Structure 1
Amino acid sequence: MKNRYIKTVKNNPNGIQLFCFHYAGGNASIYNRWKTKIDNTISLFAVQLAGRADLYSEDLIVDLDILLDRLYKEIKPYLDKPFVFFGHSMGGFIAYALTAYIEKVSQKRPEFIIISATQPPEYYYGKKNYLLSDRELKEKLKKSGATPDEILNSKELMDIILPIYRADYKLLETNKIAKEKIETKAFIFNSEEDIKKEIIMEWRDYFAQKIEYIKFNGGHFFIHKEEEDVITEINYILNSYF
C-alpha cells in the first residue's frame, strides 16, 4: 500500500512541498488545522507514524533505521519537486534523521528543515522514560500538560495512548544519532520557557551552514498556543526562500 504514512492536508500541484512530522504521542491530524492558514503557494503533507490513528493496527516502530527506511520509501516519489521538512519535538528529531539519511542515499535533499521545540539528539539518548511504569508515565504526561484530563482519566483511552508514548520515548532514547554536519540549511523554532537557547543552539554542531533561530512564547506546545504566529513564520520563510 502506497503513501500510508503521507497524508495530504492541502494540495497545490505546483506548490512548495512542506512535510510535517508530529510530536511524541501525537499523530498527523495535529496539522489538519493548518489547511486554511498555510499559504496557497504551499502543498502541506502530514506524516503519520505507524501504530496510531488510521495506522493503529500496525506495529509501533522503535528502531530508527527501520523507520527511516520506511519513511524514505514513502517520500521518495515526492522528491522530484522542491520540499521542506518541519518537525515539532520528536518530529524534529525524526526530520533531522531523515534529512541526514536522504543526503546519504540520494542526490536530493530538503531545501531546508525547520526543527521546532527539539533538543539536540544527545539530550534524549540514554534517558529511561520508556521504562517508566504506567502510573509514572501517566503522571509525567499530566505534568507536561500534553494530555487533557478527560483522556488521562479514561482507562480505555490510556490503554491505547500509553504504549504509543512509551514507544516514542524508546525511539528517542535508544537510537543514537551521529553528530555529523549535514548540508541542508536549518531554522530552529523555540520557546525559551521550554528549552534554554544555549542548549537548543547546540544544533549548530549538526549543520554545516549557519542555523537561523526564531523565538516564540508559549512553552513546549507553542505550536498550538501560538499557532497563528508559527504558521505566519512558516509562510514567510517559505515564500521568501522560493
Structure 2
Amino acid sequence: MYESTTSGGSWIRPLRNAAQRSQVHLVCFPFAGGSAGYFHALAKSLEPDISVLGVQYPGRQDRRHEPLIEDIGRLADEIYEALAPWETQPLALFGHSMGSVVAFEVARRFERENRRAPLALFASGRRAPSCPRDENVHAADDASFIANLRSLGGTDPALLDDDEMRRMILPVIRGDYRAVETYRAPTTQTVLNVPVMAITGDRDPSVTLAEASAWREHTAESFEMAVLTGGHFFIHEHVAEIADCVRRVLLGLRSEDTRPPRVDTASQSRGQS
C-alpha cells in the first residue's frame, strides 16, 4: 500500500523519500498491469542525486476500486495535470513498455502547453510511435491472453496459476493492453524538443532493434540507444546499468548550460546478464 502524495493526488508517489534532496525528479511510468512500487529498486540505485516519482494508474492496488482508463490520451491528460505541482523542479520521464508511450504523450502535453519541458525521455522496452503494429491481444480469450503474459515473463507465474488472483489481475492487464494496442500517435512525424534515450533488450519479442532505434525520429534533440541482454523484462536484471544510463544523461544535462547536439548514430551499450 502506498500513500497518496499531497501534491499530485493519488497519481504521483515519491519513492524512498529522497524527493527534497535530489537535483532531478525521474517520473516512472509502469508497464501494462504494473504499479508505482515496481520502481523502488531503481529509486534506490539513483539515490541521492536523482529521486524517483512513481506513477500509479487507477484500477490497481490502493486504486483498485477506481475505473480503469483504457485510452492512452486520457491517461496522459490526467498524469500531466497531476504533475503540475512538481514542475518547479527539473523533471525527466522514464517509461517501460506501455509506460514509454504514456511518458511520450505526457512530454507532448508539456510542450503543447508551453510548460517547462522534461529534461529527457527514457523509452524502455517499447518500439517508437512511428512503428505501430496491428495487435489485438487484449481481445483474446483468457487462455491465449495468459499464454502471452507467460511468454513475456513480467507476471509472477504463481499469480497466473491461482484462479482468484487471475480474476483480480487479468481485467487490469487486459485494460492496459487495450489502451496501448489501440494507441496511435497523432502523426508518425511527432517530434519532441527533448533528448531521448531508447533502452531495449536484445531478445525482446515485442521490440526489434530497428523499432527501438526509430525513437530517434521523435526528437529534435540528442538521441542515444542502449541495448541490454534479455527479453521484454530485461529491466529486472539490469537495474544498475539502467541507473547508470539515467544518471549519466540527467546529471550531464544539468551540468551544461545548453543541451548537447543531436547524435545521428545511436550509441549502443551492452550490459551483463
Superposition TM-score, scaled by structure 2 size: 0.83
1:6 counterpart residue number: 12
1:189 counterpart residue number: 199
2:25 counterpart residue number: 17
Equivalenced residue count is 242
Contact 2:124 2:200 in 1 (8 A): yes
State how far apart, in whole Å, the 2-side matches of 1:53 and 1:231 are: 26
Deviation at 1:159, TM superposition (A): 0.6
Structure having the higher helix fraction is 1
Deviation at 1:49, TM superposition (A): 0.6
Indicate which of 192, 216, 226 corresponds to 2:228.
216
Contact 1:39 1:235 in 2 (8 A): no
Cα pair distance change 1:7/1:162, threshold 3 Å = same
State how far apart, in whole Å, the 1-side matches of 2:174 and 2:81 are: 25
Runs of 4+ in 1 over 4 A off after TM superposition: 122-125
State how far apart, in whole Å, the 2-side matches of 1:208 and 1:55 are: 37
Indicate which of 157, 165, 178 corresponds to 2:173.
165
Q: Given residue 184 of structure 1, which amino acid in structure 2 is its aligned partner?
A: V
The answer on 1:153 being equivalent to 2:165 is no
Deviation digits for residues 16-58 of structure 1 (CA, Å, limit 9, x no counterpart): 1110111111111111223332130212110111101111111
The answer on 1:207 being equivalent to 2:219 is yes
Unaligned 5+ segments in structure 1 are none
Tell me the percent identity: 26
Indicate which of 5, 26, 37 corresponds to 1:29.
37
1:113 counterpart residue number: 121
Superposition TM-score, scaled by structure 1 size: 0.93
* CA RMSD across the alignment: 1.7
Contact 2:94 2:100 in 1 (8 A): yes
State how far apart, in whole Å, the 2-side matches of 1:241 and 1:26 are: 29
1:68 counterpart residue number: 76
SS in 1 for 2:14: strand
The answer on 1:84 being equivalent to 2:122 is no
2:258 counterpart residue number: none
State how far apart, in whole Å, the 1-side matches of 2:104 and 2:221 are: 14
State how far apart, in whole Å, the 1-side matches of 2:240 and 2:222 are: 26
Q: Given residue 19 of structure 2, which amino acid in structure 1 is its aligned partner?
A: N
State how far apart, in whole Å, the 2-side matches of 1:125 and 1:198 are: 13
